[in-house]
Amino acid sequence: MTTAVANPRSGGSGARSAVAAAARQLVKSYGSGETRVTALDHVDVEIARGAFTAIMGPSGSGKSTLMHCLAGLDSATEGRIWVGEQEITGLKDKKLTRLRRDRIGFIFQAFNLLPTLDALENITLPMDIAGRKPDKEWLERVIKTVGLSDRLKHRPSELSGGQQQRVAVARALAARPEIIFGDEPTGNLDSRAGAEMLGFLRRSVDELGQTVVMVTHDPVAAAYADRVLYLADGRIVDEMNRPTAEAVLDKMLRLAANTPHTAGELGANGSRP
């Protein structure tokens, strides 16, 4: 981890592999017997380091579950998961917590910030929890990048939705994690704020070498990624490199036609701006 702190561009725990996270034959199911629901059905996936990956799929396709499993928030029913070189399947809560704290960053759709802390305190929170001193230069650069220099002493309730999400991005970047996971990070934003936010994520990949994984059902958002994975019924059904919004939308509509029972919903999602 010391190397991770010393070298922001590569992130990671010293290992230089091209894979930031991976899952093999990952199964996640809830309940048992007849009421058993399979959210992930033998998924194999590799997340490339230094790239921006989008996971797409209709509601109930398992995309959020996949992200939760890869991020160490949820445990696998079967299969194996790695973050960098380290296998995380079977890790106890204590180690998983440290993994999330030290190697992973999160941006949620809403409720990203603690209301009692101001913007700066929210940004440094993961490092404070770990008892680490933030790297001042790096912190300033992150804050400048997301344009929050004059909002640092504001409480979340005094910030707009877009500003709040920018604080969340800054928090995710500030600790220089190996991977940042975003769960519909633009879901609650208008299109301008959303575009701004996606721009930050894109730049963090291009300029800082950050690895980003984002769950979304918005083709426009997905178009910012290097690679898009399509999930349906708990399986990866397709993927696309260097996507454009039109190509993503097109593919989704075609996938929807192939899986009739989710077509209506997909269509509705797909038509969103």
Residues that bind another protein (CB under 8 A): 68, 73-74, 93-94, 97-98, 100-102, 105-106, 108-117, 125-126, 128-131, 171, 183-184, 187
Shortest Å, Cβ 95 to another protein: 10
Are 104 and 137 in contact by the 8 Å Cβ rule? The answer is no
Give the span between the Cα atoms of 204 and 147, in whole angstroms.
14
Which residue do the tokens 């696309």 mark? 240
Q: Give me the residues paired with residue 23 across strands.
A: 45, 81
* Residue partners of 29: CB distance under 8 A and separation at least 6: 36, 37, 38, 39, 40, 77
111 or 147: CB nearest another protein? 111
Give the span between the Cα atoms of 26 and 34, in whole angstroms.
21
189 or 240: CB nearest another protein? 189
Burial of 121 (0-12, 13-18, 19+ CB in 10 A): middle
Closest CA to 169 of 161, 99, 67, 226: 161
99 or 228: CB nearest another protein? 99
128 or 265: CB nearest another protein? 128
Shortest Å, Cβ 163 to another protein: 15
Shortest Å, Cβ 220 to another protein: 19
Shortest Å, Cβ 217 to another protein: 13
Burial of 16 (0-12, 13-18, 19+ CB in 10 A): exposed
Give the span between the Cα atoms of 185 and 198, in whole angstroms.
9
Shortest Å, Cβ 97 to another protein: 5
Shortest Å, Cβ 227 to another protein: 24
Give the span between the Cα atoms of 112 and 207, in whole angstroms.
24
Shortest Å, Cβ 237 to another protein: 24
161 or 254: CB nearest another protein? 161
181 or 224: CB nearest another protein? 181
101 or 227: CB nearest another protein? 101
**Helices and strands of the chain, counted as H and E runs:** 10, 10
